[in-house]
């Protein structure tokens, strides 16, 4: 049996759970307390971060690698957009920007009191530059790579959700209408709601 060590609110664990759910791979999900990590998880992955997948003895402890593994098992709606020659490159670029620049700025924005070197608004503006570019991509299409849901959407979703939820009132009045619509659609989807059940 495949086992996923997860933490419900961790954005990396969220995207791993969504890919596994979508692929239909049977998996037992173990909810981890970050203050008291289970010994069996630490034995598999000593770095102690979630998610960690034990795929019948193969240990995968990076969320993106778990997503790719799940899609290799079953990708019924072609999240990898295999017939689009440029899709992989754009997907990699979007995820790389999200997981490095955006995530760093998001952490600073969320926990601005820990980073007093700059005002919170500066960190938010750093996030906004990337949010603005995503909004432009979504201006005349439903998803980041076109009119079809893809790996890129799911990989970025939990982080855009965090960004929106730092100050929901502020985000609601931003001009990023396309991004707001994209976020709302995905948060209301069966895929997201099913992996977020307590």
Q: Please, which residues bridge with residue 31 across strands?
A: 6
List of the chain residues with pLDDT < 50? none
Q: Count other Cβ atoms within 10 Å, centred on residue 117.
A: 8
Tens digits of per-residue pLDDT, 123-142?
999 999 999 999 999 999 99
CA distances from 27 to 16, 23, 127, 192 (A): 11, 11, 34, 16
pLDDT of residue 153: 98
pLDDT of residue 198: 83
Which residues, other chains included, contact 10 with Cβ-Cβ below 8 Å and sequence gap of 6+?
50, 51
pLDDT of residue 34: 87
What is the Cα–Cα distance from 173 to 39, expressed in whole angstroms?
A: 45
* Domains and their CATH numbers in the chain: 2-76 (3.40.30.10), 87-193 (1.20.1050.10)
The owner of tokens 């290799």 is 72
Nearest C-alpha neighbor of 158 from the set 103, 83, 89, 100: 103
Cis bond leading into 51, ω under 30°? yes
pLDDT of residue 141: 97
């Amino acid at each position: 049996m495949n086992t996923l060590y997860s933490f419900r609110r961790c954005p990396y664990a969220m995207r791993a759970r969504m890919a596994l759910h979508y692929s239909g791979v049977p998996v037992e999900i173990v909810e981890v307390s970050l203050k008291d990590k289970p010994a069996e998880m630490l034995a598999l992955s000593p770095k102690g971060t979630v998610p960690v997948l034990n795929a019948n003895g193969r240990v995968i402890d990076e969320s993106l690698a778990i997503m790719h593994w799940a899609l290799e098992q079953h990708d019924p709606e072609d999240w990898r957009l295999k017939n689009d020659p440029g899709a992989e490159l754009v997907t990699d670029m979007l995820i790389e920007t999200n997981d490095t620049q955006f995530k760093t700025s998001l952490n600073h924005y969320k926990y601005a009191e820990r980073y007093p070197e700059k005002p919170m608004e500066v960190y938010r503006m750093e996030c906004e530059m990337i949010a603005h570019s995503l909004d432009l991509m979504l201006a005349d299409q439903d998803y980041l790579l076109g009119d079809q849901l893809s790996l890129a959407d799911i990989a970025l979703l939990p982080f855009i959700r965090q960004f929106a939820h730092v100050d929901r009132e502020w985000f609601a009045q931003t001009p990023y209408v396309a991004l707001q619509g994209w976020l709302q659609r995905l948060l209301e989807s069966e895929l997201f709601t099913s992996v977020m059940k307590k």
